[in-house]
Amino acid sequence: MNRIFTSLLILFAFFSVGSAQSYIKTDLGIKTSINKIAYEIQFFSPSIARVVKWPEESCFNKESLSVTRKPQHTNLNVSINGENLILKSDELIVHLNTKSGTVSFETTSGQPLLKEKQAGAEFTAFNDAGNATYNISQSFALEKHEAIYGLGILQNGKMIQRDLEVHMIQNNTQDFIPFFQSNKGYGLFWDNYSPTIFSDNQEQTTFSSEVGDGIDYYFMYGENADGVVAQMRELTGQVPMFPLWTYGYWQSRERYKSQDETVGVVKKYRELGVPLDGIIQDWRYWGNNYLWNAMEFLNEEFYDPQKMVNNVHNLNAHMIISIWNSFGPETKPYRELDSIDALMDFKTWPESGSFKWPPNPDYPSGVRVYDAYNPEARDIYWKYLNKGIFSLGIDGFWIDSSEPDHFDPKPSDFDNQTYLGSFRKVRNAYPLMTVGGVYKHQREVTSDKRVFILTRSVFAGQQRYGANTWSGDVVASWDALRKQISGGLNLTLCGVPHYNSDIGGFFLWDYQNPLQNADYRELYARWVQFGTFCPMMRSHGADAPREIYQFGKKGEPVYDAIEKYINLRYSLLPYIYSTSWDVTANQSSMMRPLVMDFPSDKKALNIDDQYMFGKSILVCPVTKSMYNKDGQADFSTIKKRKLYLPSGTKWIDFWTGETVEGGQTIAKETPIDIMPLYVKAGSVIPIGPDVQYAEEKPWNNLEIRVYKGADGEFTLYEDENDNYNYEKGLYSTIKFIWDDSENTLIISDRKGRFPGMLTDREFKIVMISGKNNLDSEHIIPVKYSGRRTSMNL
């Protein structure tokens, strides 16, 4: 009887008007079939629609690795107009042509957004390691002058990702996310994890993937770039807070070879009085390559790892350590993973058991990558990581080779069977799975220490796992420096806000004696300046050490420039930490491509070497050599860097206080210690105290800079700096509101509270307009006890 009743319901759910195609209305949208292709359109929210297609003779059943949002019931109006089946929510209209099968999207006011190409969906039978499936492809028609952004971290130096072809297979220096967003205010996520080709030309824009039981993509409408980022995070996960100390300065090298050397670097920074919050221990602390990634300190040079960690902590610094996704054959994790058939078989790093270069094939290392798709394997991975590393008090993890390394790939390599099918089927999601495994396990162990993971690769949704992605082992050059800017900005536009690069570049192949090379020393100083305005400021690389004292001493131009920007980073910590809260609470972004804040300024849309850091500071890195003359540093003549000031606002020179109108290109003097920085008129920026590490002093005497010329506001965020109590509401915010026409600053009532919170403090207000060198005579002290304060300035 129940079956008969269900069948009747299905029959009554069919609709047919005139010659239009029949369809089934579901709780989320519709199902239908056109030209032997099954279609399902689901609304996950009023602004997000999922489109799924598959050949009728097969079936499609998939649980997304990236998408965490469960579809919510959305009020939909479903109608038929001629050949078009129309689904309309409060935010979005989706058209399905019941004759051609093409899907198109438009706003509720009828503005076209995106349309599939006619006959743009392709399914080609494919044998995936014994599993009958398809190569799949879907093409779209973009407007001729439409700008699109995203696709992950590409080393192509492009801001707008048009007129190109990208082969998406995760690798060392490029991270691929099959997502783009348009300056028309929409985004598209191609939910597929197999090797994929993204291509864009005058005819069409296409995603083509090697493996897929069906075509599966999400269309989201956010009105603008921030809105699209918000929708992508609604779909794939929100961003947790990082600890305050992660935003300080980090020193690393390939590699510190003993615990005495590691601790000695921290001591040296403390002796020099140069701020430092963290040291990173790179590989081989485990010993030889047969013990690769043993997750134990088996190298005799690390004779007392607990003492090493304690010594670093006693110097008021933190420590993160390199871990990998592969294991040597003599390690305990290898043996246990092998016992459950959770090790894959393809060529990875290191290739030889010997440290010598090139690798000796007569002595293969036997190192194998683990199956991060297997939940039991992730449990084993964490068991050894927790016991051998985390239990020592290590503060975070550097998951290297998280793509993972795959050398000389053969088609048969992709036939490796993982817990979720062939390696080919899930290849590009590997970093998401391995990073997610560490995050979830640490959250289960403790809420007192926030997860912090530095990782070399990324996939859609990874922002939910406390990870900061760096751009891989790039070869140092001026061109490479510039490409890191657009790479990080396009990652931001995929919804992933935490990015950094190896300051100075990883490999120094183009430089002999780099520490004595004037061109490299200048490049390193400029990279430090760029790194100051990234979510993580981290110096690292091979071929030469990178500590500040390797670049001279106090009083010398390059040393002084490096020190200046490390100190600048620390002075901006209240601004940076509050911005990080804006990312977590309001789905904002830290590195902001100009399209985010100036979408109507056409000159700003394709600028690849400038960006906003937070919503107030325009950053203009210097990406060309200026002071290298015949191999010698020559600072006798000050050079200039041309830059564009976006229209619609006034800009205040961060260094001089001079006000400049937007909408023009200017030339700014750039001596070795000046990177052009401009503050948007109306900004309120908190400046922190001089410190040697992030938590050395309380923020009880912050300088509050008010940049006149427009109305503005800023919310100062504070919490306990390193636990998850903020998720329980234990934090405070103080909003500063500047009324430019009334010359009035309002400090609002403090909202919220947390243990150890400052209840009484003083703010030092500094007004900046016109020419202003921030002399002490411009400082106005204000006592604040949490109650609203208004002052006419």
- Contact indicator for 172, 472 with CB cutoff of 8 Å: yes
Residues 6+ apart with CB under 8 A from 300: none
CA distance 626 to 637: 9
Q: Could you count the other beta carbons within 10 Å of the beta carbon of residue 663?
A: 15
Token pair for residue 260?
Answer: 């005495």
Same domain for 206 and 283, yes or no, is no
Q: Is 300 exposed, middle or buried (0-12, 13-18, 19+ CB in 10 A)?
A: exposed
| DSSP class of 728 | G
CA distance 284 to 294: 10
The CATH number linked to 714 is 2.60.40.1180
Q: Could you count the other beta carbons within 10 Å of the beta carbon of residue 749?
A: 11
Looking at the predicted structure, is the pLDDT value of residue 268 above 70?
Answer: yes
Q: Does residue 482 sit within a domain?
A: no
Same domain for 318 and 207, yes or no, is no
3-class DSSP state of 567: helix
CA distances (Å), origin 43, targets 33, 178, 215:
18, 20, 16
Looking at the predicted structure, is the pLDDT value of residue 9 above 60?
Answer: no
pLDDT tier for residue 14 given thresholds of 50, 70 and 90: very low
**Is there a catalytic annotation at residue 403?**
yes
Residue 769: per-residue pLDDT: 82
Active-site annotation holder among 91, 106, 277, 403: 403
| DSSP class of 283 | S
Q: Output the average pLDDT for the chain.
A: 95
Residue 776: per-residue pLDDT: 44
Residue 2: per-residue pLDDT: 41
Which of 193, 57, 205 is CA-nearest to residue 128? 193
**Is there a catalytic annotation at residue 473?**
yes
Which of 589, 730, 738, 593 is CA-nearest to residue 652? 738
Q: Indicate the residue among 434, 465, 496 that finishes a domain.
A: 465
Residue 604: per-residue pLDDT: 98
Stated pTM of the model: 0.96
CA distance 457 to 428: 10
Which of 386, 392, 258, 387 is CA-nearest to residue 318? 392
Same domain for 308 and 454, yes or no, is yes
Within the chain, what is the greatest distance between any pair of CA atoms?
A: 93
| Residue 744: φ, ψ to 5° | -120, 130
42-63 pLDDT, tens digit per residue, is 999 999 999 999 999 999 999 9
Residue 777: per-residue pLDDT: 53
Ramachandran bin of 417, using left for φ above 0, alpha for ψ from -120 to 50, beta for the remaining angles = beta
CA distances (Å), origin 663, targets 160, 316, 598, 666:
20, 45, 11, 10
Q: Could you count the other beta carbons within 10 Å of the beta carbon of residue 62?
A: 14
Looking at the predicted structure, is the pLDDT value of residue 83 above 50?
Answer: yes
461-513 pLDDT, tens digit per residue, is 999 999 999 999 999 999 999 999 999 999 999 999 999 999 999 999 999 99
Looking at the predicted structure, is the pLDDT value of residue 19 above 50?
Answer: no
Please say whether the dihedral angle defined by the alpha carbons of residues 470, 471, 473 and 475, taken in this order, is positive or negative. negative
CA distance 179 to 378: 27
Q: Does residue 70 sit within a domain?
A: yes
Q: Indicate the residue among 465, 481, 498 that finishes a domain.
A: 465
Q: Round the CA-based radius of gyration of the chain to a whole number and report it.
A: 27
Active-site annotation holder among 282, 400, 597, 718: 400
Q: Does residue 484 sit within a domain?
A: no
For residue 700, which amino acid is it? N
CA distance 272 to 295: 33
Same domain for 53 and 116, yes or no, is yes
pLDDT tier for residue 793 given thresholds of 50, 70 and 90: confident
Looking at the predicted structure, is the pLDDT value of residue 10 above 70?
Answer: no
Which of 58, 79, 508, 558 is CA-nearest to residue 254? 508
Token pair for residue 404?
Answer: 């993972």
Residues 6+ apart with CB under 8 A from 661: 645, 650, 651
Which of 241, 256, 403, 402 is CA-nearest to residue 320? 256
Same domain for 95 and 199, yes or no, is yes
Ramachandran bin of 130, using left for φ above 0, alpha for ψ from -120 to 50, beta for the remaining angles = left
Looking at the predicted structure, is the pLDDT value of residue 679 above 80?
Answer: yes
> 179: domain range?
2-184+186-221
pLDDT tier for residue 12 given thresholds of 50, 70 and 90: very low
Tell me the average pLDDT across 731-760.
Answer: 98
CA distance 337 to 342: 5
- Contact indicator for 683, 707 with CB cutoff of 8 Å: yes
pLDDT tier for residue 21 given thresholds of 50, 70 and 90: low
Q: Indicate the residue among 436, 465, 494 that finishes a domain.
A: 465
Tell me the average pLDDT across 717-734.
Answer: 98
3-class DSSP state of 504: coil
Residue 695: per-residue pLDDT: 98
Q: Does residue 353 sit within a domain?
A: yes
Which of 462, 442, 456 is CA-nearest to residue 395? 442
Same domain for 210 and 281, yes or no, is no
Residue 1: per-residue pLDDT: 38
Q: Does residue 20 sit within a domain?
A: yes
Contacts of the segment 90-94: beta carbons below 8 A, 24+ positions apart: 90/46, 91/45, 91/46, 91/47, 91/221, 92/43, 92/46, 92/47, 92/49, 92/219, 92/221, 94/41, 94/49, 94/51, 94/219
Name residue 659's beta-bridge partners.
Answer: 652
The CATH number linked to 62 is 2.60.40.1760
CA distance 324 to 301: 20
3-class DSSP state of 270: helix
CA distances (Å), origin 4, targets 1, 12, 31, 345, 525:
5, 12, 21, 52, 76
Residue 487: per-residue pLDDT: 98
Q: Does residue 550 sit within a domain?
A: no
Rounded to the nearest 10 degrees, how much is the dihedral formed by the CA atoms of 691, 697, 699, 705?
-20
215-260 pLDDT, tens digit per residue, is 999 999 999 999 999 999 999 999 999 999 999 999 999 999 999 9
Q: Could you count the other beta carbons within 10 Å of the beta carbon of residue 6?
A: 10
- Contact indicator for 403, 457 with CB cutoff of 8 Å: yes
Which of 97, 106, 117 is CA-nearest to residue 184? 106
Tell me the average pLDDT across 117-133.
Answer: 96
Same domain for 37 and 170, yes or no, is yes
Active-site annotation holder among 234, 296, 473, 563: 473
For residue 340, which amino acid is it? I
Residues 6+ apart with CB under 8 A from 408: 347
Same domain for 117 and 15, yes or no, is yes
Per the structure, the count of domains in the chain is: 3
CA distance 274 to 567: 8
3-class DSSP state of 309: helix
Residue 791: per-residue pLDDT: 93
Token pair for residue 123?
Answer: 């399914």
Same domain for 411 and 312, yes or no, is yes
Same domain for 288 and 171, yes or no, is no
pLDDT tier for residue 778 given thresholds of 50, 70 and 90: confident
Looking at the predicted structure, is the pLDDT value of residue 742 above 60?
Answer: yes
CA distance 793 to 774: 15
pLDDT over 90 percentage in the chain:
95
Same domain for 343 and 461, yes or no, is yes
Q: Does residue 573 sit within a domain?
A: no
For 304-334, b/e burial (b = at least 16 CB within 10 A) is ebeebbebbeebbbbbbbbbbbbbbbbbbbb
Same domain for 196 and 280, yes or no, is no
Rounded to the nearest 10 degrees, how much is the dihedral formed by the CA atoms of 241, 619, 547, 248?
-20
**Is there a catalytic annotation at residue 379?**
no
List, as one string, the DSSP characters of 176-230: EEEEEEETTSEEEEE---S-EEEEE-SS-EEEEES--SSEEEEEEE-SSHHHHHH
Q: Does residue 384 sit within a domain?
A: yes
